[in-house]
Amino acid sequence: MMSLKHIKSNYPTEAARSKEMATSSEELASQAEYLKNIVSIFDVGDI
Amino acid sequence: MKNLNISTKLIILVSLLIGIIITIGILGPSNLKKVNNGIESMYQNRVIPLEQLKNISDAYAVRVVAASHKARSGSITWQQAHNELNKAEQIITEHWEAFLLSEIDGEELRLTNEAKALKKDADKCTNDLISLLSLGEDSISVVKLGFYVDNYLYKNIDPFTNKIGELIEIQLLVAAEIKKEAEEIYSDAKTFTMIFIISAILIGIGLAIFIIRGINNGLKKANKIIGEIENGNLSFDIEIENNNEISQMLRRLKNMVTTLRNIVDNIIAGADHITAASQEMSSTAQEMSQGSNEQASSTEQVSATMEEMNANIQQSSSNAQQTEKMATKAAKEIKIGSDAVMETVKSMKIIADKISIISDIANQTNMLALNAAVEAARAGNKGKGFAVVATEVKNLAERSAIAAEEIDKVAAESVLTAEKSGKMLTDIVPNIEKTATLVEEISTATLEQSSSVDQITNAVEQLNKVTQQNSAISEEMASSSEELTSQAEVLKQTISFFQQDKNSTGNKIKKLSKNKFKASKPPQKNTTSKGKGFDLKLSGGNVKDDEFETY
């Protein structure tokens, strides 16, 4: 049953990494929105 | 002047030209009016009177004199001559009266007054000739006519016609003066107009050059700026000198360049953020993928172990059920054995009772043998054989008594042993029954454990599935992160088209972000923010974790 202990010990790390990835994803989404806001001053119409 | 708007400059230029044109327009017609008045005056007061005078002179010369001579020579009839003279008189009167109505002054007036006086003689002469011609053509009248023509005609008419000639000359002189005045007016107007036109042209050209140079320089500057922007160069400064339309356009271009710089700064910063975040996410995703793979391997191991454990538990359950059956059967059999022992004890007691009868029989036999010995002794030799039998009977009795005693003793001991065995068997039955109950409980617990193990196996399989999904998602995220990094690099390469001033920093970005674009600030690292990941919450807070044991 070393595997369960391994999983048990690994999951907090995985959870932290998942949170970190979620944070990075949110940051990326925010950055993308930020860039869209920056270029939104240009109205390119239907070109 | 440089600070004036182009429209103002153009208004000034156009106003100036319009002013000059208006001046020329006012002065030109004025001079033309003078010339026209001169021409009109010359025509009304000189040309028409000249024609009138000429007609008067021609009437005298052609009609009066010529008709008189023709009538005298017979070239025409007298009646024709009479008509000619009447016509001449009519023409002369008509034109002379018209002449007198014209504007007459100065030397012309003097000559006119002299001509008036002379005209009386000429009129009288004409009337005389008409009177003569009205008499009809006869020899006397012809003589009279000839006499009159030779002596009075030229004498009376020539002074007047000569004066008419002087008046004609003075008309020509006055016309020449008027012509000279008109030429002077024309020359003055021409000079004035030329000066104005040249001045207007020079001023217009000067102002136009000034305005065109201003516009052209501004447009060249704007064109250069647009060219620099077209080539992606934003690292230049725009100097704005004045405040006209071109300068306003340059100011807007300057603002546009500033805006583009800030956009480029912000996009580069955003791309850097995206690169850093995506690289971090890629690294995390790869680590998570690796961890997920390890977890998948561990869960597979756990799953195999659980299956093996489930098999063992099921085997134990089966064994327990079998043991329970055996224990139940043993308890029943022991009870039967106990009953049998109790029956044996009863039988042994009966045997012991029967053996006491044998002992009594042996004692009585011994007494009978003793009596037989006594009787044999009494019989002497005859009783010797009987004495031997009696002795043997006595021995048998004694041995029977001893055996009975031993049997009784053994029977007593056997009863004790059987009773003890029965008691022990009776005591064993509840224990075996309790054992069967416990084994049944063990079997039930084992079944529950088997069910639990099935649940654990399902949970582990679910865990394995989730872990494999996590692994796949992590790999996908790692791939997406690499794609994001690539996209960010493409974005940076695209925006690197604009050559940025090295002095441009993020301060502008923040200012622009807050005030210009209303964009959200670049997100800060927030390690406490909750993601959408799969949180098993395995750490702490769950006391059941302590129930896990290492085998």
Place of tokens 């850097």: B272
Mean pLDDT over B74-89 rounds to 89
Residue of B322, B364, B520 whose CA lies nearest to A30: B520
CA distance to partner chain B, nearest, from residue A42 (Å): 11
Query: Which carries the bigger pLDDT value, residue B526 or residue B483?
Result: B483
Which tokens belong to B328? Answer: 């139940």
Per-residue b or e along B298-311, where b marks 16 or more CB atoms closer than 10 Å to that residue's CB: bbbbbbebbeebbe
Euclidean distance between CA atoms B354 and B55, whole angstroms:
218
Whether A15 sits inside 8 A of B517 (CB atoms) is: no
B544 chain-A contacts, CB cut-off 8 A: none
Of the two residues B236 and B117, the one the predictor is more confident about is B117
| Closest by Cβ to B523, choosing from A5, A13, A27 | A27
Q: Average pLDDT, whole number, for chain A?
A: 75
Under the banding of pLDDT at 50, 70 and 90, the label for residue B502 is low
Residues 6+ apart with CB under 8 A from B121: B156, B157, B159, B160
Both tokens assigned to B423: 């008691």
Residue B233, φ and ψ in degrees, nearest 5: -90, 115
| pLDDT per position as a tens digit, B461-494 | 888 888 888 888 888 888 888 888 888 888 888 8
pLDDT of B42 above 70: yes
B510 close contact with A: CB closer than 8 A: no
Close Cβ partners of B60 (under 8 Å, ≥ 6 residues apart): B88, B92, B122, B157, B160, B161, B164
Rounded to a whole number of angstroms, the distance from the CA of B200 to the nearest CA of chain A is: 48
Q: Return the amino acid letter for A13.
A: T
Nearest to A21 among B284, B522, B523 (CB): B284
Contacts of B12 (CB under 8 A, 6+ apart): B4, B207
Which two three-digit tokens encode residue B64?
């009066």
Nearest CA-CA distance, residue B299 and chain A, Å? 7
Q: Give the pLDDT of residue B491.
A: 84
pLDDT band at B90 (very low <50, low <70, confident <90, very high): very high
Whether A3 sits inside 8 A of B545 (CB atoms) is: no
Q: What is the pLDDT of residue B283?
A: 80
Of B263, B305, B523, the CB nearest to A38: B263
Q: What is the DSSP string of B351-373?
A: HHHHHHHHHHHHHHHHHHHHHHH
What pLDDT score was predicted for residue B94? 92
Prediction ipTM score: 0.84
Largest Cα–Cα distance of chain A, in whole Å? 63
Q: Model-level pTM?
A: 0.52
Distance CA B236, CA B220 (A): 16
The residues facing B233 across adjacent strands are B499
B523/A30 Cβ within 8 A: yes
Chain A contacts of B484, Cβ < 8 Å? 28
Q: What integer pLDDT is reported at residue A44 of this predicted model?
A: 63
**Per the structure block, which two tokens stand in for B63?**
């009609």
* CB pair distance less than 8 Å for A38 and B266: yes
Average pLDDT of the segment spanning B87-102: 90
Q: CB-based contact (8 Å) between B502 and chain A? A: no
pLDDT of residue B258: 86
pLDDT greater at residue B296 or residue B256: B256
8 Å CB contact of A35 and B267: yes
Structure confidence by residue, pLDDT tens digits, B300-353 = 888 788 888 888 888 888 888 888 888 888 888 888 888 888 888 888 888 878
Which of residues B544 and B479 earns the better pLDDT score? B479
Paired with B499 in beta bridges are B233
Q: Identify from B259, B298, B494 which residue to disrupt to test chain A contact, counting A C-beta atoms within 10 A and taking the largest count.
A: B298
Confidence band for B2, pLDDT divided at 50, 70 and 90: low
Quick check: B548 and A26 CB within 8 A?
Answer: no
- The residue written with tokens 């995703």 in the block is B285
d(CA B120, CA B128): 12
Contact B288 A21 (CB under 8 A): yes
Give CB contacts under 8 A, 24+ apart, made by B439-445. Answer: B439/B320, B439/B321, B439/B323, B439/B324, B439/B327, B440/B320, B440/B324, B442/B316, B442/B320, B443/B317, B443/B320, B443/B321, B443/B324
Inter-chain touch A18–B535, beta carbons under 8 Å? yes
Whether the per-residue pLDDT at B373 is higher than 60: the answer is: yes
* pLDDT on residue B450: 83
Q: Which of B471, B535, B548, B550 to mutate against chain A (most A CBs within 10 Å)? A: B535
User: How close, in Å, is residue B221 to chain A by CA atoms?
Assistant: 24
Say if residue B538's pLDDT is above 50.
Answer: no
Structure-model confidence comparison of residues B399 and A14, the more confident one: B399
CA-CA distance, B297 to B290, in Å (whole number)? 11
Query: What is the Cα–Cα distance from B139 to B21, expressed in whole angstroms?
Result: 79
Is any Cβ of chain A less than 8 angstroms from the Cβ of B280? yes
The answer on pLDDT for B518 being more than 50 is no
According to the model, what pLDDT value does residue B217 have? 86
- Which structure tokens are listed for B174? 């006055």
Burial of B47 (0-12, 13-18, 19+ CB in 10 A): middle
pLDDT over 70 (residue B244): yes
B111 and B120 Cβ atoms separated by less than 8 Å: no
Q: Is the CB of residue B541 less than 8 Å away from at least one CB of chain A? A: no
